[in-house]
């Protein structure tokens, strides 16, 4: 029986990138099977992101375009994960719509899907600036201090997960949690799921403006430390 995959991609004000994103990742979906889907979730964009997606649906038969009220990256990712699980998928893959990741790296993940519960991309030789590298290193330190675990790249937007494994942890993530992927990574490592980190390329944003600046990152991080501390207390 053919295994199916949903690729989940959140998008917010990505009209400059969304066409290329669909063209690139729809090809990956097609190669995994006819029942696989590319699910792009418009997070209440104020530009033409969703209109472009709807215009592309006729040409790209395995594309699903969804729009919803703006709730942020983490909540939109969780929305996509739940959508995939509700539709009975075997595997869920997540990446972003800003063109920083490459579908060329995906195929190595797919080939190893039976050997691991979760495969996460480790962003090597990042081209998105030293400030982002600093944020990732700080996050790794914070997670070690709170959860006593080492996670190579907890917030990487490039991850392949078995649906059954994702299902075990998704309801542990607080509603509208900004760092949903980080917390999932913590659970995967903390509870010793079969997980592998594989180096991936990571380019500069390919167009448009990043909606998350350093000021917002600081506020998110400040809240995250409080949330992580509370969550750690409830872990067995």
Q: Kindly state the helix (H) or strand (E) to which residue 232 belongs, with its residue range.
A: helix 214-233
Does residue 85 surpass a pLDDT of 70? yes
Q: Which of 21-30, 74-83, 125-134, 141-150 has the lowest mean pLDDT?
A: 125-134
| pLDDT for position 126 | 65
Q: What is the pLDDT of residue 23?
A: 97
Rounded percentage of the chain residues whose pLDDT exceeds 70 = 89
Higher-confidence residue of 36 and 203: namely 36
* pLDDT 10s digits, 156-174: 999 999 999 999 999 999 8
**How far lies 191's CA from each of 51, 72, 117, 147, 235, in Å?**
42, 27, 12, 11, 10
N- to C-terminal Cα separation, the chain: 37
Give 192's pLDDT tier (boundaries 50, 70, 90).
Answer: very high
pTM of the model: 0.91
Phi, psi of 97 (to 5 degrees): -105, 10
**Domain extent for 86:** 5-233
Buried b (16+ CB within 10 A) or exposed e, 156-169: bbbbbbbbebbeeb
Q: pLDDT digits over 204-231, tens only?
A: 765 556 555 556 666 766 777 888 888 8
User: Residue 45 pLDDT more than 80?
Assistant: yes
Instruction: Give the total number of structural domains in the chain.
Output: 1
- Tell me what pLDDT residue 44 has: 97
Domain CATH number, residue 15: 3.90.550.10
Question: Minimum mean pLDDT among 61-65, 97-101, 183-187: which range?
Answer: 97-101
pLDDT at 76 over 90: yes
pLDDT of residue 219: 72
Q: Where do the DSSP E strands lie in the chain?
A: 5-11, 37-43, 63-68, 91-95, 118-123, 158-162, 195-200
Per-residue pLDDT at 130: 65
Mean pLDDT (whole number) for 14-37: 96
What pLDDT digit, counting tens, does each position of 111-154 carry? 999 999 999 999 877 656 566 667 778 888 999 999 999 998 99
Give the pLDDT of residue 161: 98
């Amino acid at each position: 029986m053919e295994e199916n995959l949903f690729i989940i991609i959140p998008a917010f004000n990505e009209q400059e990138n969304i066409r290329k994103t669909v063209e690139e990742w729809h090809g990956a979906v097609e190669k995994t099977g006819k029942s696989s889907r590319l699910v792009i979730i418009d997070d209440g964009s104020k530009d033409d992101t969703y209109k472009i997606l709807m215009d592309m649906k006729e040409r790209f038969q395995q594309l699903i375009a969804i729009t919803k009220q703006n709730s942020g990256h983490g909540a939109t990712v969780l929305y996509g994960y739940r959508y995939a699980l509700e539709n009975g998928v075997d595997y869920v893959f997540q990446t972003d719509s800003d063109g920083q990741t490459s579908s060329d790296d995906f195929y190595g993940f797919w080939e190893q899907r039976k050997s691991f519960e979760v495969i996460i991309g480790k962003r090597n030789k990042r081209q998105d600036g030293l400030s982002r590298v600093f944020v990732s290193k700080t996050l790794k330190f914070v997670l070690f201090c709170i959860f006593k675990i080492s996670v190579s790249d907890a917030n990487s937007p490039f991850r392949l997960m078995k649906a059954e494994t994702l299902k075990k942890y998704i309801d542990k993530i607080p509603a509208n949690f900004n760092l949903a992927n980080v917390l999932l990574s913590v659970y995967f490592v903390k509870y010793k799921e079969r997980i592998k980190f594989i180096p991936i390329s990571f380019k500069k944003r390919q167009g448009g403006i990043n909606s998350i600046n350093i000021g917002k990152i600081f506020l998110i991080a400040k809240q995250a430390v409080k949330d992580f501390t509370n969550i750690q207390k409830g872990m067995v």
